[in-house]
Structure 1
Amino acid sequence: MTLSLRTAPATLLAAVLLVACAGEPTRLAIGSSREQTLRELGTPTAAYALPGGGERLQYSRAPAGFEVNNVDLDASGHVVSVRQELDERLFDRTIQPNVSRWREADVLRTYGRPFEITQVSSFDGNIWTWRYKWQNSPRLLYIYIDPTGVVRRYHTGDDLMLELLAPV
């Protein structure tokens, strides 16, 4: 299918409106059914099984966005919690470095796919990075995952990318 110069703006506008129609996860009512959730929020970026037969529907705005919202459903398919995970106040309670049970799969289930994966010579493994905002300041979350898939540490830092791209 090819787009003419006349239809391209209309197609772009339709795509923008479709994305804008997707609901805000934090406004979803506790107790909503899975079907209501999908109707209000659209298709999740990922879905994960939870212990006890529940399911996590993940709505990530990564890689360019700053939020990852997890909608947890119980075994009967009803919403029991909605949480925006990229919140600096939650990192110490959520991320469990050097605990063999907190692994790469747990990171994905919590934060979704990272903005980027890098390596440095001072760490044997990968560093996964997410963008988020803290008090309207762009920040980065770095999680260090060793070759066996265990989370070894994490830290946060300023995201200077937007400042570098801003016109002077």
Structure 2
Amino acid sequence: MDLRRTLAGLGLATLLAACAHPFYAGDLQPGTSRQQVLERLGPPTRIVALPGGERLQYSTQPFGHHAWMVDLDPAGRLVGARQVLAAAEFQRIVPGQWTATDVEREFGPPARVDGVASWDGPVLTYRWRDVDRSDMFYWVYLDRQGVVRRAHQGMEFINAPDNERN
């Protein structure tokens, strides 16, 4: 019985840890200093130069479902922060115009970079959750020159029922 309780406790702790995202930046106020952002969120996953400042990327990829883009002006003051792994954000990708650099600037590093037999180029995979909290993938197909050629979403059937038994 003690083993069951221990395993149940570990399972609950794992579930709670997986649901939390450590980089919540939605309540940061415009004008917050770079130093205050770093004190609050810690070191970013990546820092990206922008024409009018810089972007601090806070991503929970490859296993999480969130990526916060924290934009700072040239003086190091917060302009805005947003969670970008969402359907409306992914719809901004323009095949034939965006490159791998554009995708990673806007969404951070992907969860995976794969190749598939039916495509002659890399496929960037992002994990995210839709509005009803379903686990999802978003795939961005690049050609050999790094230009986006197509992009689409799909479900991640991580906890799907076993249809073989029905």
TM-score w.r.t. the length of structure 2 is 0.80
Specify whether residues 143 and 164 from structure 1 end up closer, same or farther in structure 2 by C-alpha distance, changes over 3 A only.
Answer: farther
Equivalence for 1:76: 75
Equivalence for 1:34: 34
Matched, 1:139 2:146: no
CA distance, structure 2, for counterparts of residue 118 and residue 76 of structure 1: 38
Following TM superposition, by how much is the alpha carbon of 1:164 offset from its aligned partner in structure 2, in angstroms?
7.2
Specify whether residues 44 and 164 from structure 1 end up closer, same or farther in structure 2 by C-alpha distance, changes over 3 A only.
Answer: farther
After superposition, residues 98-109 of structure 1 pair within 5 angstroms as 98-99=96-97, 102-109=98-105
The ranges of structure 1 where at least 4 consecutive aligned residues each deviate by more than 4 angstroms after the TM superposition are: none
Following TM superposition, by how much is the alpha carbon of 1:28 offset from its aligned partner in structure 2, in angstroms?
1.2
CA distance, structure 1, for counterparts of residue 149 and residue 23 of structure 2: 35
Following TM superposition, by how much is the alpha carbon of 1:162 offset from its aligned partner in structure 2, in angstroms?
3.7
CA distance, structure 2, for counterparts of residue 36 and residue 131 of structure 1: 29
Structure 2: state its 5+ residue gaps: 1-19
Equivalence for 2:153: 156
Equivalence for 1:60: 59
Matched, 1:48 2:45: no
Q: Matched residues, percent identical?
A: 41
CA distance, structure 2, for counterparts of residue 59 and residue 80 of structure 1: 16
After superposition, residues 4-19 of structure 1 pair within 5 angstroms as none
SS of 1:25's equivalent? coil
Bigger mean CA offset, 104-113 vs 155-164: 155-164
Amino acid at match of 1:98: G
Equivalence for 2:12: none
Specify whether residues 123 and 85 from structure 1 end up closer, same or farther in structure 2 by C-alpha distance, changes over 3 A only.
Answer: same
Following TM superposition, by how much is the alpha carbon of 1:121 offset from its aligned partner in structure 2, in angstroms?
2.5
Number of matched pairs: 146
Amino acid at match of 2:158: M
SS of 2:139's equivalent? strand
Contact 2:32 2:78 in 1 (8 A): yes
Amino acid at match of 2:111: F
Specify whether residues 126 and 164 from structure 1 end up closer, same or farther in structure 2 by C-alpha distance, changes over 3 A only.
Answer: farther
SS of 1:62's equivalent? coil
CA distance, structure 1, for counterparts of residue 23 and residue 118 of structure 2: 42
